[in-house]
Amino acid sequence: MNVSQAIKERRSIKAFDPQHKMTEQEISTLMSLAMLSPTAFNIQNWRFVLVTDPVLRHQIRAVSWNQAQVQEASLLIVLTADLKAWAKKPERYWQNAPKAVADILVPAIGHYYENNEQVQRDEAMRSCGMAAMTIMLAAKEMGYDTCPMDGFDFDAVAKLLNLPADHTPTMFVVVGKALKDAQPRGGQLTMSEVVINDKF
């Protein structure tokens, strides 16, 4: 499946086969591709919590408006972000770059993020959003369906996952085999309404 086809065919699925299991190799492949998603300064601030424990899945469903796909999809991925990834040994992010490049970029990371919690949080949302799309398109190519989700109690999920204080949940992506097709698209805006040339 090419990228264009995956984009066109990817839909948000709500009904999944609860009996289907993904293999460890499939999950590893999917996460390897997710980890190629771009991040500013290469800080790789996404953290992917793969929730497979049935009891925990049930608890998360209870704080996610009781949405069935949280529990019934083959895999629940809670995309979280390390808000302080920029400060945790940032030289790691450029260890394979030429020294001249690393000498410029590593200090720039601190200058950009330090004392700017809004930028740290904004970056977390951007990074996880791009990773979520990577997961959904890769899953589609692998023959799986997905649903991105933000309909949950963020504080309750953070507590259930025992997230560190400097981490935040950003969204879920559930992955599995659809039992029912998505509803027809609700209504697409025209290109002339959403694509602006140069200035509004």
Helix then strand then coil, in percent of the chain rounded to 5, is: 45, 15, 40
Task: Count CB-CB contacts under 10 A for residue 116.
Answer: 13
Q: For the whole model, what pTM was predicted?
A: 0.96
pLDDT tens digits for range 104-136: 999 999 999 999 999 999 999 999 999 999 999
Q: Give me the pLDDT at residue 53, please.
A: 97
Those residues whose C-beta lies under 8 Å from the C-beta of residue 41, and which sit 6 or more positions away, are: 86, 90, 93, 105, 108, 109, 112
Q: What is the CATH number of domain 3-179?
A: 3.40.109.10
3-state secondary structure of 11: coil
Residue 109 to residue 91: CA distance in whole angstroms: 10
H helices of the chain, in order, are 3-9, 24-34, 54-62, 69-72, 99-113, 117-141, 154-160, 191-194
Q: Give me the pLDDT at residue 159, please.
A: 98
Residue 95 to residue 105: CA distance in whole angstroms: 11
For the chain, what is the mean pLDDT? 97
pLDDT tens digits for range 29-56: 999 999 999 999 999 999 999 999 999 9
Q: Give me the pLDDT at residue 165, please.
A: 97
Q: At what angle do helices 99-113 and 117-141 cross, to 10 degrees?
A: 120
- Could you tell me the residue ranges of all domains in the chain? 3-179
Q: Give me the pLDDT at residue 155, please.
A: 98
Radius of gyration of the chain (CA): 19
Averaged pLDDT, 87-93 = 98
pLDDT tens digits for range 166-184: 999 999 999 999 999 998 9
In degrees rounded to 5, what are phi and psi of residue 152?
Answer: -155, 165
Reported confidence tier of residue 69, pLDDT bands at 50, 70, 90: very high
Cβ-based burial of 149 (10 A; exposed 0-12, middle 13-18, buried ≥19): buried
pLDDT > 90: percent of the chain: 98
Q: Give me the pLDDT at residue 110, please.
A: 96
- Spatial strand order in the sheet of 46-51: 46-51, 75-82, 167-176, 145-149
Tokens of 131: 């990773």
